[in-house]
Homo-oligomer: A and B are copies of this chain.
Amino acid sequence: MPRSTAGQTGRPPVTSRPEILAAARRLIDRDGWEKLTIRGLAGELGIGATTLYHHVRDKEDLLLLLLTEYAAQLPRPELPADPRDRIVAAGVLIHDAFAAWPWAAEVLTTDGFIARIGDPALWVVETILAGAADHGCTPEQGVLVFRNIWYFTVGEILVRANTARRHPDADFPPAENSPFTGGGSEHLPYLTAVAPQWGEIAQANTFAQGLTALVDGLLAQAKP
């Protein structure tokens, strides 16, 4: 008996989990991740919306599968030998992975997915812990280093992704209609002075620089 198409019982499938995940990625890449809806995804596949529930537990499960697939597929490059440089490089890797897929970072925080990414993503955590230990950190200090890097990275991606969505070249303050650009700005001299250049300054990618500052500060704290 052939095991693939013959001898089956019941109605034949119209889709599969891999097909669903591929369609979801297509939809996200095309319209943005906030447009990924169960109904829209079913439409993309040309099937009934409720059919999806036979291949995926719920929408949260779908997002988790998407994230896991993405994480597993990421390259795993050679890292520098120096512990400090290795930690920075690992942080940059996390950052670049999520910067290319900003919705992933958003999902990761907004829904508390952090604790549920599987094996394929854990080697980055291991790399940072190992780097900290090589530098002379205790395990506790290593965890601290990782968590602080994680905070910084998530924050940078979320702020950058969301400000880009609205103000293509501005960032924090100097919206033309902002109250401080009008009258009464005497008590905000520094802000008023940099306001014109803020947008330009904010546009530069300074993530690696900021991360380096954070890592250096953390390692200095751990080993005085």
Interface residues of A, Cβ cutoff 8 Å to B? 106, 109-112, 114-116, 118-119, 122-123, 125-126, 129-130, 133, 139-140, 142-144, 146-148, 150-156, 158-159, 162-163, 165-167, 170-173, 175, 178-180, 184, 187-191, 193-194, 197-198, 201-202, 206, 209-210, 212-218, 220-221
Could you show 6 A-B contacts with beta carbons less than 8 Å apart?
A109-B159, A112-B163, A112-B165, A125-B191, A151-B210, A158-B158
For the residues of A in contact with B, the DSSP-based class is helix
A206 engages B144 (CB within 8 Å): yes
A107 to chain B, nearest CB (A): 10
With contact pairs A129-B190, A152-B155 given, residues A173 and B218 touching in the complex (Cβ less than 8 Å): no
The 6 closest A-B pairs by CB, nearest first: A155-B155, A213-B217, A217-B217, A151-B155, A129-B190, A112-B166
With contact pairs A210-B144, A210-B148 given, residues A130 and B190 touching in the complex (Cβ less than 8 Å): yes
Q: Chain B residues with Cβ under 8 A from A191's Cβ?
A: 122, 125-126, 129
Instruction: Return the contact of A150 from the options B159, B162, B214 (Cβ within 8 A).
Output: B159
How many chain copies does the complex carry? Answer: 2
A133 engages B221 (CB within 8 Å): no
With contact pairs A194-B129, A210-B144 given, residues A115 and B217 touching in the complex (Cβ less than 8 Å): no
Instruction: Return the contact of A221 from the options B115, B146, B170, B213 (Cβ within 8 A).
Output: B213
A101 to chain B, nearest CB (A): 16
A97 to chain B, nearest CB (A): 16
A223 to B178, CA, bound (A): 32
Instruction: Return the contact of A173 from the options B115, B133, B154 (Cβ within 8 A).
Output: B115
